[in-house]
C-alpha cells in the first residue's frame, strides 16, 4: 500500500512573523456605555434614624458629581464621608470642589507601584473598619464604577448594612450586588427637573384643579365643564418669568431709502511743531544746612560746613534778630519750657515784620535758633521743639 504523504509544515511567509497574534493590531478599548439606574431616588433615600457612610473612588468618578451627591444625602446624619485618590496630581480639581462640602475628607493616597491601585485598597480597608467600629453606619454609599469592590459590598450586606452604589458606567457585578444603584447623571437631571417643577405655577394650578374636581359632586356638570376648560388652558398660560410666545409673522416693513453718502472730510493740516520747553530753573538750595543732607560727599560736606559757618557769623552780627527771637520766646513761655519751633516763627513774623530783610538765609528755621547760641533744640516725635537756655 502506498504510504500516506506527510503534511509539511507551511513555511513562514517572508516578512511576516510565525506568530500572527504577535503582529495583530490591538483594537482600542471601547468606552463602556452608561448603566441606567435600577432604583428610584425615593427608594434609595435613607430611612429615619439612619447613619450614612460615603466612600468615593475619585480615580474614576468626576468631582462634578459632588453637588448631586450632597443634594441626595440632604440632612441625613453622616458618620463618614471620604474620597480616595492622588489629589496632588491629576485629581487636584477635587480640592476646590470639596471646599463646599466641609464633611468630606480627602484621603490622599498615591500609587507607589505602577499597576497597583493603592486608593482602592485604602477604600476597602476603611469600609471594613467602619463596619467593625463601635457605631457603624446603617447605609454605605459606594461612589465608583469599579467592580473590585464587589466582595466588600457582599460582606457588608451579610452584616445587615444597606448598600447604595452610584456611578455612571458601573460594572454589572457591582450593580447587581447592591440594594440600590443610581446613575449620577440621571439623578442630577431628575433632581433638576423636580426643582424646576416646584417653581412652575402650572403645576400648582393643576393640583388645585384636581382638588376642586375631587370636592365637586359629579352631578354638577357646570363646574366639571369649567374645570375641563381650565385644564385645557393650563399649557397655554403665560407668566411674567415664562418665555414669550413667538410673534406671528406680520406684513414686512418697506425697505428704507439708503442714506446719502457723507462728504469726505478734508485732510487735517499738519500741526506746527511745538516750541521746546524751557528748562526748569534749578532748585534754590541756598540756606540748606549740610547736616540736613546726609548723602553728600566729603568735598561737598566741607563746602557745606564753610557755608554754615559763614551764615552763623552773619547772624551773630544781626543782634536785632537775636533780641527779637528771645523777646518772642520769653513772651510765649518762661525760660526752660519747650515750645514748638513753628509757633516761635509764626509770632516772630507777626510782631516783627520786615525783620528778615537782608537777614542770612536759612532753609530750616530751627537751624537759625541753634546758631543764635540762646536756644536748645531737639526733635520730639515728628515735631521740632526749642527752649531758651537758662
Question: What are 317-353's pLDDT values in tens digits?
Answer: 888 888 888 888 888 877 778 888 888 888 888 888 7
Question: What are 287-320's pLDDT values in tens digits?
Answer: 677 777 777 888 888 888 888 888 888 888 888 8
Percent pLDDT > 90 in the chain is 12
Residues in the chain, total: 390
CB 310 within 8 A of CB 286: no
> Domains of the chain: which residue ranges?
41-192, 290-388
User: How many angstroms separate the CA atoms of 166 and 178, rounded?
Assistant: 10
The alpha helices in 41-136, defined as continuous H runs, are 41-44, 66-73, 93-98, 118-132
Of the candidates 367, 365, 375, the one whose C-alpha atom is nearest the C-alpha of residue 326 is 375
Q: What is the pTM of this model?
A: 0.46
**What superfamily would CATH give domain 41-192?**
5'-nuclease (3.40.50.1010)
CATH class of 290-388: mainly alpha
User: How many angstroms separate the CA atoms of 342 and 323, rounded?
Assistant: 18
Strand partners, 140: 53, 163
Mean pLDDT for 31-54 is 78
CB 137 within 8 A of CB 80: yes
Ordered strands of the 77-85 beta sheet:
105-108, 77-85, 51-57, 139-143, 162-167, 180-183
Amino acid at each position: 500500500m502506498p504510504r500516506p504523504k506527510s503534511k509539511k509544515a507551511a513555511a513562514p511567509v517572508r516578512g511576516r512573523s510565525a506568530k500572527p497574534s504577535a503582529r495583530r493590531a490591538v483594537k482600542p478599548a471601547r468606552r463602556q456605555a452608561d448603566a441606567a439606574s435600577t432604583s428610584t431616588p425615593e427608594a434609595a433615600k435613607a430611612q429615619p434614624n439612619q447613619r450614612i457612610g460615603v466612600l468615593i473612588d475619585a480615580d474614576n468618578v468626576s468631582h462634578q458629581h459632588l453637588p448631586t451627591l450632597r443634594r441626595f444625602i440632604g440632612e441625613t446624619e453622616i458618620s463618614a464621608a471620604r474620597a480616595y485618590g492622588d489629589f496632588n496630581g491629576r485629581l487636584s480639581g477635587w480640592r476646590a470642589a470639596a471646599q463646599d462640602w466641609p464633611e468630606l475628607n480627602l484621603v490622599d493616597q498615591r500609587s507607589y507601584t505602577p499597576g497597583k491601585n493603592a486608593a482602592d485598597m485604602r477604600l476597602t480597608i476603611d469600609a471594613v473598619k467602619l463596619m467593625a467600629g463601635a457605631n457603624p453606619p446603617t447605609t454605605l454609599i459606594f461612589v465608583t464604577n469599579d467592580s473590585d469592590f464587589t466582595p466588600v459590598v457582599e460582606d457588608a450586606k451579610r452584616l445587615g448594612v444597606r448598600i447604595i452604589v452610584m456611578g455612571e458606567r458601573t460594572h454589572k457585578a457591582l450593580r447587581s450586588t447592591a440594594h440600590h444603584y443610581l446613575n449620577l447623571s440621571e439623578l442630577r437631571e431628575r433632581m433638576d427637573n423636580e426643582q424646576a417643577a416646584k417653581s412652575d405655577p402650572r403645576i400648582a394650578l393643576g393640583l388645585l384643579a384636581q382638588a376642586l374636581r375631587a370636592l365637586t359632586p359629579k352631578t354638577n356638570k357646570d363646574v366639571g365643564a369649567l374645570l375641563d376648560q381650565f385644564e385645557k388652558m393650563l399649557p397655554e398660560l403665560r407668566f411674567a418669568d415664562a418665555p414669550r410666545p413667538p410673534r406671528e409673522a406680520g406684513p414686512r416693513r418697506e425697505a428704507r431709502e439708503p442714506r446719502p453718502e457723507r462728504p469726505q472730510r478734508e485732510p487735517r493740516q499738519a500741526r506746527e511743531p511745538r516750541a521746546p520747553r524751557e528748562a526748569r530753573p534749578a532748585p534754590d538750595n541756598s540756606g540748606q544746612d549740610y547736616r540736613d543732607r546726609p548723602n553728600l560727599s566729603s568735598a561737598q560736606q566741607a563746602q557745606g560746613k564753610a557755608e554754615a559757618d559763614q551764615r552763623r557769623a552773619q547772624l551773630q552780627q544781626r543782634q536785632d534778630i537775636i533780641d527779637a527771637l528771645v523777646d518772642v520766646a520769653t513772651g510765649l513761655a518762661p525760660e526752660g519750657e519747650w515750645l514748638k519751633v513753628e509757633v516761635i516763627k509764626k509770632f516772630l513774623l507777626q510782631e516783627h515784620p520786615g525783620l528778615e530783610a537782608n537777614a542770612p538765609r536759612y532753609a530750616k528755621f530751627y537751624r537759625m535758633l541753634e546758631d543764635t547760641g540762646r536756644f536748645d533744640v531737639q526733635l520730639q516725635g515728628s515735631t521740632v521743639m526749642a527752649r531758651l537756655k537758662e
